[in-house]
Amino acid sequence: MSRLGSALRVSSAIFGFALLGLAAAAALSLGYVAEGLRYVSLAQPLWLLAGLLPAAAVIWRAWRAPLPATMRFSRTRAAAALGGGFWARLVHLPDGLRLAAGLLLAVALARPLSTRLSDRVEHEGIDIVVAMDLSDSMEADDLYPSRLDAAKQVIDEFIARRPRDRLGIVAFGARASTVAPLTADHEVLRLLVRKLALGSMDGTRTAIGAGIGVALNRLKESSAESQVIVLLTDGVHNAEGLDPDSAAQEAMSRGVRIFTVLIGRHAGQNIDPGRLERIASSTGGFAYTAEDREALSSSFQDLLDRLERSTIEGEAIRAELFALLLWPALGLLLLDVLLRSTRLRRFP
């Protein structure tokens, strides 16, 4: 037999056993993705080219050493008389198993994904932006230990009790800024709330209108049917810029409800609770007054009990299928090692 013919025979045997190994691996995995097989896609298809390496190695080895050395006999007649048994016909099985494992690993590296088995993150809840007053008057201690600290504690507890809601935080003093956009990552949100502090912005004035305006901007990202602004303040609007009533009209036109919470004791002070009530009522919300910690907590709980929930769809997450290829590949490699160490062991 010529060198080329011998190489073709060996290569064909190895590729044949490799196809059997791939068929066995497919049979093990097919039951899991049978219904969604046509929906499988590859995230990194270029990794399929890695499968050429083990295939090329088989061809090169078959060409360089088409007939690997086996136990030698002093007389060829005696060897011929023995004939080829069952195990002799499987001499190239380990190489085929190794090739099949390499091809499976190449496909696994290409990251097969199943759109049929994908899941879409959904949560039922309300999209809520809390607009927090950080003006200097929030340092007053009529709520222990201060208005701001009491408000932070109640908001932290509120976030912990609302696992299905997306929340955002806006802070305002003489101006307003976003502390956190709408998020379902409540651990991060609670950490940001704890870090709120007076002095982080100009607190000499109270820009309620700007606080509502920035909160409305954050709710532009929302697809929830229930969108709410919780305005927590201890003062009256006294800053330049957006007028609170104009901001409330914008909220009403967009279907955003505003719930106001007037925090602290204000006997004899120049406070305008009527304006907060007007803002709340014009948008379908409610105005609360919280002169102590208990009233503050109950205000937050009551306003949430008034709201219906809606289902919000998140981004689709496709199921990763690489494990369905990785485990069969490891199994084929273990079988390869087992056969090479036992019945198909070769002797120099």
Domain extents in the chain: 3-119+318-341, 127-308
The answer, yes or no, to whether residue 79 has pLDDT greater than 80, is: no
The answer, yes or no, to whether residue 25 has pLDDT greater than 80, is: no
CATH fold of 127-308 reads Rossmann fold (3.40.50)
The pLDDT mean for the chain works out to 81
CB 219 within 8 A of CB 182: yes
Angle at 132 between CA 131 and CA 137, to 5 degrees: 145
pLDDT digits (tens, 9 = 90+) for 142-184: 888 999 999 999 999 888 888 888 999 999 999 999 999 999 8
3-state secondary structure the chain: CCHHHHHHHHHHHHHHHHHHHHHHHHHHHHHHHCCCHHHEEECCHHHHHHHHHHHHHHHHHHHHCCCCCCCCCCCHHHHHHHCCCHHHHCCCHHHHHHHHHHHHHHHHHCCEEEEEEEEEEEEEECEEEEEEECCHHHHCCCCCCCHHHHHHHHHHHHHHHCCCCEEEEEEECCCEEEEEEEECCHHHHHHHHHCCCCCCCCCCCCCHHHHHHHHHHHHCCCCCCCEEEEEEECCCCCCCCCCHHHHHHHHHHCCCEEEEEEECCCCCCCCCHHHHHHHHHHCCCCEEEECCHHHHHHHHHHHHHCCCCEEEEEEEEEEECCHHHHHHHHHHHHHHHHHHHCCCCCCC
* Range 47-76 average pLDDT: 70
The answer, yes or no, to whether residue 84 has pLDDT greater than 90, is: no
- Full strand arrangement of the beta sheet holding 166-172: 176-183, 166-172, 127-133, 227-233, 257-263, 287-290
Which pLDDT score is estimated for 81?
56
pLDDT digits (tens, 9 = 90+) for 100-156: 888 888 888 888 877 554 445 455 568 999 999 999 999 998 888 999 999 999 999
Q: Which residues pair with 129 in a beta bridge?
A: 168, 229
pLDDT digits (tens, 9 = 90+) for 287-314: 999 888 888 888 877 876 776 554 555 5
Which pLDDT score is estimated for 41?
76
- CB neighbours (10 Å) of residue 317? 11
| Per-residue pLDDT band at 96 (split at 50, 70, 90) | confident
The model carries a pTM of 0.56
Q: Which residue has the higher pLDDT, 67 or 260?
A: 260
CB 76 within 8 A of CB 294: no
* Range 320-324 average pLDDT: 75
Which pLDDT score is estimated for 259?
94
Q: Which of 83-92, 201-210, 269-278 has the lowest mean pLDDT?
A: 83-92
Residue 151 makes CB contacts below 8 A (sequence gap 6+) with 132, 138, 143, 232, 263, 296
Share of the chain above pLDDT 70, in %: 78
